[in-house]
Structure 1
Amino acid sequence: MKRATFQLLACIATCITVINGQQTRPSITFAVSTVKPSQSQGWRLQPTLNGYTAMGVSLFQMIQEAYGIYQPDRLSGGPAWIDASKFDLEAKMEDADVSVYRGLTLEQRHQMLQALLADRFKLVVHHELKEFPAYALVVAKSGPKLHAATLEQTTPDGDIKGITGLVTQSQRGLLAVQGFSMEGLASLLSGYGDVGRKVVDKTGLKGRYDFTLRWAPNDRAITASDASGPSIFTAIQEDLGLKLEPSRTMLDTIVVDHAEKPTEN
């Protein structure tokens, strides 16, 4: 009965009720959470199989992760230290509840991190829609050059990275995927500095596909070996039969109304 009750809570974790402009917290929370000032020279922020781990990150970066908004100009407000002070963070589920956590969607996990920031940083935010330059991902005149994925290669929606498909290789100038949707590709491209804008899927393609994309990154020194490599825009058209067209779109932005530095654990 206890397990059934917890699973029911997992199903309703995405239901957020807005009352007087404030959001209620999700029903599921992390069993253990630690936040402390960081002396690290580098930084890391990533989901784990049972929560989140972060080292040397700012509250600005944690808010980006918690709300899935990674373009800096879509986050504003807050105290002066929001992007200057660095913290280490660990958030974990109880061992007995890890299997339930893995079944949550990316949005449910984001809501748990939002609740943690509200609790530890006294974070209060509100949303505003603003228009931004974007790219529309469309089918090129030559037609798509995509290979349909087999059923065995696809992965269910709501995996730990929130991408509708499996990334088999990801590094500078190389992306290889299996069972990927066009919505997933647009989402992934939106986070690439070589693209630099939000990408919206306008291909009309509803299947899942396997493909490899290679390009010459535009923000590093080009060596003789990759001087002839295509830009990511050219590679998308030549390798995938798709195209990025300049567009504009309304995007959600986060405005920080209040935040406090957390007390040490």
Structure 2
Amino acid sequence: MLVSLIAMLALALPMAAQQKLAFDVASVRENKSVEGPGGEAPQTNVPLGPGNVYSPTGGQLNIRDMGFLLLVSFAYRMSIPQQDAFRDMAPKWVTEARFDIQARTDKTDVTKDELRLMMRSLLADRFGLVVHNEMRTAPVYSMQLVKPDALGPHFRKHTGACSKDFEGKTTVDADADGYPEVCGGLLLLSGSASTHFRIGARDMPINVFATSLTGWGDLGRPVINDTGVTGNIDFVLDFVPPYAQAAAGADADGQGFQEALRKQLGLKLESLKQPVEIIVLDHLDHLSEN
């Protein structure tokens, strides 16, 4: 579930369309190892979620046993609805095939966003991937403040500096105010009840937060930031995930997702229709190996 939560952090990447970067050396191979027990777990030296968590690797990108959809999602920083739309347009192998990638750029100080652009070039070269962006009217949720100009008790605008030293941790402790001790990505916090998720982040763009709500709450539609809040935020949210709430029914101990949004963060979701950006698949081939 941790991998799913991290993968759910998503926002369309506002990078210059005319900028084209590519790896200097790259090997891409389909991983046909046995799935399930005894198979390989996906591995990567660069977090493929859409957040800013990234420790420079000297220009190296090493990925093993990774699904194609996650590779595309990393390259284009897809939201959950964009991933769903792409999956519906793509051939079946996109959800089944797994790949190993070893790539290097001579730009040893390469940023994570530059790696995304290089991944776009690699997918175009080896898979013939061609996409374009298109606006389509669809049901969305408008994220609004419950009380005008008032944030909830566990939601604030980001101020001050914080450490980005994760040291390989998958969970972290909270600081004196209850927020993660480190910043830059979505984190599971220690001390959650067994049926709850307690997640938090510091220094997260508000629009990344809004689009992430779709996956965290299993909402089935995009979320648009209409709070009037701009810039980066800190938050902590403790909730019973939808699947656990459905299983427990009336016996669920804790706040459901939307109730937690209201009471802990001071946010509400209003249903409406408006244009949203979809990444449309124009062309895709199976792997053309080295």
Same fold (TM over 0.5): yes
Q: How many equivalent pairs are there?
A: 228
Equivalent residue for 1:238, pick from 255, 263, 279: 263
Equivalents in 1 of 2:187, 2:91: separation in Å?
Answer: 38
What one-letter code is carried by the residue in structure 2 that aligns with 1:203?
T
Partner of 2:158: 149
* 1:110 partnered with 2:116: yes
Post-superposition CA distance 1:136-182 (Å, at most 9, x none): 11100383223443322498xxxxxxxxx633623772212223443
Residue 122 of structure 1 aligns to which amino acid in structure 2?
G
Query: 1:133 Cα deviation (Å)?
Result: 1.8
Task: Decide whether aligned partners of structure 1 residues 115 and 244 sit closer, same or farther in structure 2, where only a CA change above 3 A counts.
Answer: same
Query: In the alignment, is the contact (CA less than 8 A) between 1:77 and 1:257 conserved in 2?
Result: no
1:140 aligns with 2:146: yes
Please say if residues 194 and 232 of structure 1, whose CA atoms lie closer than 8 Å, have aligned partners that are also in contact.
no
CA distances 1:211-262 after superposition (whole Å, capped 9, x unpaired): 31100011247579x9211111111110011112222232222333322222
Q: Which residue is equivalent to 1:166?
A: 184
User: CA separation in 2, counterparts of 1:132 and 1:90?
Assistant: 38
With the length of structure 1 as denominator, give the TM-score of the two structures.
0.71
What is the aligned partner in structure 2 of residue 228 from structure 1? Answer: 253
The residue number in structure 1 matching 2:192 is none
**Structure holding more strand per residue:** 1
Point out where structure 2 has 5 or more consecutive residues left out of the alignment.
1-14, 36-40, 49-53, 165-182, 190-195
CA–CA separation in structure 2 for the residues paired with 1:80 and 1:182: 34
Query: Do the aligned residues in 1 keep the contact of 2:130 with 2:282 (CA within 8 Å)?
Result: yes
2:219 to 171, 177, 195: 195
Distance 2:252 2:236 in 1: 20
C-alpha distance in 1 between matches for 2:208 and 2:16: 24
Aligned-partner Cα distance in 1 for 2:228–2:116: 28
Counterpart amino acid of 1:238? K
1:52 Cα shift?
4.4
Cα deviations by residue, 1:21-79 (Å, 9 ceiling, x for unpaired) = xxxx70x3222322111134254564463464433334333222222223343214344
**Structure 2 counterpart of 1:16, one-letter code:** A
Hey, what does 2:76 align to over in structure 1? 67
**What TM-score, normalized by structure 2, do the two folds share?**
0.66
How has the CA–CA distance of structure 1 residues 206 and 174 changed in structure 2, closer, same or farther, with 3 Å as cutoff?
A: same
Rate the CA distance shift 1:246–1:112 in 2: closer, same or farther, 3 A.
Answer: same
- Asked whether the equivalents of residues 154 and 178 of structure 1 are also in contact (C-alpha less than 8 Å), the reply is no
Quick check: 55-64 or 116-125, which moved more? 55-64
Pick closer, same or farther for the CA change 1:184–1:253 going to 2, 3 Å.
Answer: closer
Identity of paired residues, percent?
A: 26
Q: Which amino acid aligns with 2:273?
A: R
Residues 81, 176 of structure 1: CA spacing in aligned structure 2 closer, same or farther, 3 A cutoff? closer
